[in-house]
Amino acid sequence: MAAIVAFILFGLGILVLVLRRDLVIKLLALGLVNAASILFLVSIGDRPGARAPIQGPGEMGILADPLPQALVLSAIVVNFAILALALVFVMILVERYHSTDSTRIEQEMAREIDEEETPCL
């Protein structure tokens, strides 16, 4: 079930990434996409009734799989770093263009230096 939810969230994230022009919302959508892939990893490591994977003396029973947990922790840290850095760059763009609208920023940049429109020899 969680795996299906993860794939739905993933699709939703891409949809928002494509449809919304606001850079901050785009980054939130990217966060959703990343969170969906992490949820998928959590879902595959799920064992109902499992204990934490620390074996004490004389303890028996089902243990949770530690590998997906390690993967999830690493992925969360990486995605946090990516989102933080991307937001810093969005802030730099906003300071210059006073907008978070991606189309408007692109138009402003094209107006500043338009090398492509120079006729070729």
Partner 1 sequence: MPLILLPLLRFVFAILSISFARARKPFTIVSHLVDAALLSQLVLTLGRGIPELITVGGTPAGIGISMIGDQIGLTFAVLAWVLSVAVSAYTWRDQLRPYFFLLLNLLIGACYALSFTTDLFNAYLLFELSTLVSFLLVGYQRRPRQIWASLHYLVLSSLGMSIFLLGIGVVYAHCGCLDLAVLKTMLRASPGEPWMLLAGSLLVAGIAVKAGVFIFSLWLPSAHARAMPAVSALLSGLVIKMGVVGLFRLADVFPIHLTLIVLGAITGILGIIYAFNTHDIKKLLAFHTLSQIGYMLIGFGAATEVARLGALSYVVAHGLFKSLLFLTIGEAAARAGGSHLNTLIENRQNIPRGTRIALFIGVLGIIGLPLLAGFDAKAILEDGLPTMALRLIVILVSVGTVASFAKLSPVLFSRSTCRTDRSRILAYAWLGGGIILFWPLSLLLVSPAISLHALSAPHIVEALAVIAVGGSLYLLIRKKRFQLPSEIFRLETSPLIILVGFFLVYALMALGQ
Q: State which of positions 36-95 bind partner 1 (CB under 8 A).
A: 36-38, 40-41, 43-44, 67-68, 71, 74-75, 78-79, 81-82, 85-86, 89-90, 92-93
Q: Where are the alpha helices (DSSP H) in the chain?
A: 2-19, 23-44, 66-97, 102-112
Yes or no: say if 14 and 55 are a contact pair by the CB < 8 Å rule: no
Task: Determine contact, residues 33/27, Cβ cutoff 8 Å.
Answer: no
How many residues are listed for the chain in this entry? 121
* Residue numbers at the binding site for partner 1 (CB under 8 A): 6-7, 10, 14, 17-18, 21, 23, 26-27, 30, 33-34, 36-38, 40-41, 43-44, 67-68, 71, 74-75, 78-79, 81-82, 85-86, 89-90, 92-93, 96-97, 102-103, 105-106, 109, 112-113, 115-116, 118-121
